Structures are given as C-alpha cells and as structure tokens.
Structure 1
C-alpha cells in the first residue's frame, strides 16, 4: 500500500482584514501610509487523528478568524523595527522614521512583534500565534503549518513553519 500524506487548507471569506501600514526597504526608504484588504489562507500537514481529521476545519477557521479580527481596521506598526521607533505618547501611538512621524489613536493601532509590516512577516506572526493557539488547545504539533497573506489579488506571501 502506498504511503499517504494529508493536509487541510482553509481559505474563507471570513479570513480577511483591512489595515493600514507602511514599510521600510533598501535601508533608507520608507513608503507612504497605505492600506490593503488582506486575505489569509492556512494549511496544516499532519497525520490523521481518531476522527480521520488532520485538524477540525471549523476550529481551525475560527482560531484564524479570531487572529485576523485583531488586525482588522487597525494601523499595523512594527514593534521591532531597527528603523521605525514606536512609542505611546498620551492617548496616541507615535511612529518615527528619521525626520518623519505619524501619530495615531492608540486604540486604533496594533504594534506587532515584527521588524517590518511586510506580508511575509505578517504571515509569520499569524503562523506563530496559530501554533500557540493550537498548542493551548492541546492539539498535536502538525508536520508543517503554512500561512499565506494576500495583500491584493495576485500578490501574496507564504510562510511554512515546521514545529
């Protein structure tokens, strides 16, 4: 009998978020603030459990839905950037890049533990959080977890995490 490998993939209309961001690149460039209507897909590889599931589709969807909801309609800021300094000043969060700065109401921001708010690092952030949520539920580690973040149609980044 041939060996089998299993994976599940969830990509649903509920796994979307609209957020503002800006990134730095090439060491000395900082783009303008802009936004995306992001779409997220998640894929889990692993053995079948006693229910003949890799993981429960609905539970996986709901975990990812909760994660993306925390990013929806927020300004995404990099908390670990070597170029952008993010501080709270009164009721606002201020981001500084060289002589430029932006001030946002703190409740409208998410300061992420990443160096840049690229699609690649957003995918990694969501994947790390999802793995932690899976572990908290007592789920076995998957063989691999992939998270894809699409910024716009035809433009996406994916990370593969192997616990």
Structure 2
C-alpha cells in the first residue's frame, strides 16, 4: 500500500467571480461598499485511490465553478452579522448599520450564512457548500481540503478542513 499522500489543486480562469461587499470591523466600524474580482482555488490532500488519483479534477472543478457562478455579479450580504440587519422590503433587501442603510434588488444579492463577508468567511462558505455538494452527489468528501479565495492580487484567505 502507498503510504504517500498527494495533493490536487484546481484553480482555473473561470473560477472567478465579481461581487460587491462591505464588512464591519473593530467592533464598531463599517467599511464602504466596494467590489472585487475574486479568484477561487481548491486543494484536496489524501492517498491515491483505485484510479491512482486523489480526487477527480473534473468533478472538483465543475462543482466549484457552479458555486462560484452563484456569487458572480451579486452583492454579498451577511445573514449573521450582529451589527448589520438585513430585511426584505418588497422586491429589495435593506441592510441597516446604525444610521446608515442600503437597499438592493433582492435578485442581485446573495445573503450568506456568515457573520461577516470577509474573504475568510467566503472561503469557509464555499468550502462548506462544496463539501455538501460532493456528499449530495454521492462522491467522497475529502478528509483534508483547503479553499483559497483571493480578493485582490496577492491577498488570499484560506479555510482548512484538516483530515486524518
């Protein structure tokens, strides 16, 4: 039996999305709305399987691409931020932070189940969704996985799911 462990990495030109966001920080500050051209990469570690690979590149790429497309050209809003309230008002979502508020068309937003739309939380969200998508399709969920999200050239955040 091969005792080595291997890593596969998927990062393609189409694993990118353009989206707006804003975050709260230092407990009582809220930054201005802005956007990024985010890039996503996924790494999976493990032993080789009966096909002599760690994971099917195509399945990993396609599932990641589908998740990335859900975020493309959207406003990313946090559902669990204690300082930002998101509510529906007609066909819009209204976000309130203290005396500031923003109104966005509902169909142009994605409300993420995160406390803040930081790059770290977006990486975690994508990884959790990817792991769920793999399980839903009956594919093996990697024990060890990393999802990296770049919000700006050279500025990456990584969420880890360490394996055994």
Give 1:66's aligned residue: 66
1:115 corresponds to? 115
Structure 1 equivalent of residue 99 of structure 2: 99
**Inter-partner Cα distance in structure 2 for 1:150 and 1:47:** 27
Q: Helix, strand or coil for the counterpart of 1:70?
A: helix
Q: CA–CA distance in 1 between the matches of 2:82 and 2:68?
A: 25
TM-score normalised by length of structure 1: 0.96
Q: Which residue of 1 aligns with 2:81?
A: 81
- Alpha-carbon separation, structure 1, partners of 2:35 and 2:155: 14
Give me the whole-angstrom Cα distance separating, in 1, the residues matched to 2:41 and 2:2: 29
Please tell me the root mean square deviation across aligned C-alpha atoms, in Å: 1.3
**Structure 1: 5+ residue runs without aligned partners?**
none
Alpha-carbon shift at residue 134 of structure 1 (Å): 1.1
TM-score, scaled to structure 2: 0.96
1:20 corresponds to: 20
| 8 A Cα contact 2:92 2:106, kept in partner | yes
Q: Which has the higher mean CA deviation after the structures are superposed, 41-50 or 11-20?
A: 41-50
User: How far apart in 1 are the matches of 2:111 and 2:143?
Assistant: 30
Query: How many Å apart are 1:161 and its aligned residue?
Result: 1.1
Q: How many residues are matched? A: 163
Given that residues 148 and 157 in structure 2 are in contact (C-alpha distance below 8 angstroms), is that contact kept between their aligned partners in structure 1? yes
Q: Distance in 2 between matches of 1:116 and 1:38?
A: 16
Q: In the aligned structure 1, how far is the partner of 2:121 from the partner of 2:114? A: 7
Q: Secondary structure at the match of 1:130?
A: helix
Deviation at 1:2, TM superposition (A): 7.8
Whole-Å separation in 2 of the counterparts to 1:131 and 1:54:
15
